[in-house]
Every structure is written in structure tokens, then in C-alpha cells.
Amino acid sequence: MLLEGSPSNPSQLIDPMQKKVSKIGVMTSGGDSPGMNACIRAVVRTGIYHGLEVFGITRGYAGMIDNDINRMDSRSVANIIQRGGTILKTARCKEFMTKEGRAKAYENLKSHGIDGLVIIGGDGSFKGAQIFSNEFDIPCIGIPGTIDKDIAGTDFTIGFDTAVNTAVEAIDKIRDTADAHDRLFIVEVMGRDAGYIALHSGIGTGAEHILIPEKKTDVEQVLASLQEKEKRKKLVNIVVVAEGDDFGGANDLAKVIKDRIPGFDIRVAILGHIQRGGSPSSMDRLIASRMGYSAVECLLEGKVNVMVGIVNNKMYYTPLDNAVKAKQKISEEWLKIVKILAS
């Protein structure tokens, strides 16, 4: 049965000729994100509950090619829900981009009898899954595990909430020292192609400016605003910059501001990979568990090549083709909120 909020055409999701799965593989691919372990745990225990054999594939597609595939049981995933990273490891794999590499991966899956896959990762991982499934007729279910929240078809991605909370905690501490010294801090957060971490952490910490890849940066406007604040003797300012902002990162922006407004005492803080690690938030543990459970249910119901998402608190299934083509967009309302609250 399709849950409310799913695409209206069932043929997009369910293959009536799909044989019932009996052995499934689970893997994490691409960048790690807090909550991946909670998702692995949910997949393994839901599969075992339904009488399936579950195999963990170490290092994503690279492990599939190297036959680094091992049977998992309930004890395999004990005491991991609170841990960041991924017990299955993750890696990039150029060999999987070749037909020969995918054929080798398929033979390894076949040797274990694996007839269904759950892939926890981002759009690059889903592209690989889509091609692989089309070539070898193995049903794949994608689960969005990325701190960037840049995948369409879901309100949440695993790891985003934790990454934002990590950034907020860091920026709050930075504001304390900025206040003590009357400084302008430019804080760079992750987000090469998407500005959600910058947007949410910036709003959550009362940043004076938030620069994101989705909106072209008007440096002159930023400078004019800071000059106006300098005249008002408002010397404590936080500017949050996504690493993929079109103007450049925090260091590039700091140089321009220093040249044009030498009166500001400027410091740069680049948060970097601290945002990827750490114990997942309760939100990430919950959505990861819910998505992992639903992914196994999808395979049992015969759904093929879909991404499991959550939209308006209901499970939502997006064909992998659509998930990899579309990007989550930042609404104009969010941008308006930033402008009003930072004034």
C-alpha cells in the first residue's frame, strides 16, 4: 500500500513481477553523516524481524567490488545508535563507475544470494544505485544520508539536524568571544552546493549576514550594511558563509572587508569536518530509524528504485531518477526572514 504523500502513479514504485526478496544488503556511501548507524540498525533489525538475511557491505560500492560483505545479526548493531560516523565505513569508488566494476560487484552480491539493496547516502550514491539496478535487475532503496539536506523529496536528511546543532553550538561560543573583543567573526560552515546549514545555523544564532550558494552574493550590499553598523558602533557581528558561496569562502570575504573597512577587528573561523562528527541528535536518530524501517518494508512490498523520504511527517517515496535530478530549493520566504531578522 502506498502511504499518503507518495507519488500518485503506483507503477512508478511497484513492480508486480518483482520476486520476493530473501537476502538484503545494506551499505553507507559518500560522505558520512551522524545517524547513519541508527539507520543501519533499523535496516538490520527490521529485516531480521521479517525473516530476511541481512548483509553489511563495508566501504560502500568499493566493498561491493572487493566482496567485503558480511552477514549481520541483531548483536552486530547493538550499542551503535548513539555513535556518529558509520560502522560500515564509506568510500568513493571510481571503479564502480565502469561497467566492468559493476559487473564484478553484481557477481559478489550473487555469490551471497543478495536480492535487494538499501543504500544510505546522497545523490551520487543514488545515481550509482539507479544504473546498477537497471543493469542487473536488483531492486534498490535509497535513504538520504547527507548533512547538506540537498536532496528533493524529503523534509529531512539523516545528519542535517546534528550538523546544524554542532554549528549553532560553535557559533554561540564564537559570539561570546566576539562580544568580549568587539570583533567581526566570519564563520564558514559546510555546504559546497547547498546553503541549508548556513541558513539554519545563521538564523538560529542571530547572524548579521548569511551567504549561501543559492543566492548570488552582493558584496557591496554586505559592505554597506557593515559600514552602517560601524557608524552605529555595532562592532560585534557574525557573518555565516557556506563554503560553496559564489563569492568565495570566509577568508576571501575577510580580505575584502578588511581592505574596505579597516576599522573592524576581523577573525575567521572555519568549522570544517567537526560538523560531520559527533553523536546524532534525537531528531536524527528518530528519522534514521523510521527511514531504515521503511526501506525494508519497501523491498518486502515490491517497491523498486525509490528513495525513502519524509514529507509533512508522512513517508514519501520518490523514484531514484527524480531524486538524483532534482535539488532541494531554498524558498524566498527563508531569504526574506534572513533579511528582516538580521537588520
For residue 244, what is the domain's CATH number? 3.40.50.460
- Flag whether 337 is in a domain: no
CB 68 within 8 A of CB 57: yes
| Closest listed residue to residue 102, CA positions, set 122, 121, 123, 128 | 128
Q: What is the pLDDT of residue 3?
A: 40
Which candidate, 303, 301, 307, 336, places its Cα nearest to that of 321? 307
Please indicate, yes or no, whether residues 139 and 22 belong to a single structural domain of this protein.
yes
The answer to the question of residue 1 being in a domain is no
- Whole-number pLDDT of residue 173: 96
Rounded to an integer, what distance in angstroms lies between the CA atom of residue 190 and that of residue 175? 19
Q: For residue 184, is it within any domain? A: yes
Dig out the grid coordinates for 336 from the structure.
526574506
**Helix (H, G, I), strand (E, B), or coil: what is residue 268?**
strand
Closest CA to 101 of 62, 138, 58: 62
CATH number where 144 lies: 3.40.50.450
**Rounded distance between C-alpha atoms, residue 261 and residue 124, angstroms:** 42
Residues 91 and 17 in one domain: yes
**Number of domains the chain contains:** 2
* Residues 112 and 204 placed together within one structural domain of the fold: no
Whether residues 309 and 238 fall in one domain:
no
* Three cell numbers written together for 212: 549561501
Per the DSSP assignment, residues forming a β-bridge with 250 are none
What pLDDT does 16 receive?
A: 54
Hunting for cell 546498477 — which residue is that? 132
Task: Please report whether residue 343 resides in a domain.
Answer: no
Residue 311's alpha-carbon distances to 196, 200, 224, in angstroms, are 17, 18, 39
152 and 193, same domain (yes or no)? no
Q: What are phi and psi of 75, to 5 degrees?
A: -70, -25
Q: What is the pLDDT of residue 185?
A: 95
Q: Are residue 176 and residue 320 in the same domain, yes or no? A: no
List, for the chain, all residue ranges whose pLDDT scores fall below the cut of 70.
Answer: 1-19, 325-327, 343
Task: Annotate 225-250 with DSSP letters as a single string.
Answer: HHHHHHHTT---EEEEEETT-TT--H
> What are 228's three cell numbers?
552602517
Closest CA to 187 of 271, 88, 98: 271
Residues 87 and 189 in one domain: no
Is 296 among the domain residues?
yes
Are residues 272 and 175 part of one domain? Answer: yes
149 and 296 part of one domain: yes
In a domain, 94, yes or no: yes
pLDDT digits (tens, 9 = 90+) for 46-69: 999 999 999 999 999 999 999 999
Per the structure, the complete domain to which residue 215 belongs is given by 160-276
Q: Are 140 and 117 in contact (CB under 8 A)?
A: yes
141, 308 Cβ separation under 8 angstroms: yes
Annotated catalytic sites, by residue? 148
Cell numbers describing residue 157:
536528511
pLDDT computed for residue 10 by the predictor: 40
Residue 326 has a pLDDT of 67
Same domain, yes or no, for 128 and 193? no
pLDDT of amino acid 229: 83
Output the nine-digit C-alpha cell for 184. Answer: 567581526
Same domain, 148 and 206: no
| Buried b or exposed e, range 123-134, using 16+ CB within 10 angstroms | bebbbbbbbbbe
Output the nine-digit C-alpha cell for 335. Answer: 531569504
**Together in a domain, 180 and 248:** yes
In terms of DSSP H, where are the helices of the chain?
Answer: 36-49, 60-65, 99-112, 123-136, 160-181, 196-204, 219-231, 250-260, 282-301, 320-325, 332-341
Containing 194, the helix (H) or strand (E) segment is none
C-alpha cell at 284: 536524527
Answer yes or no: is 116 within a domain: yes
Has residue 57 been placed in a domain? yes
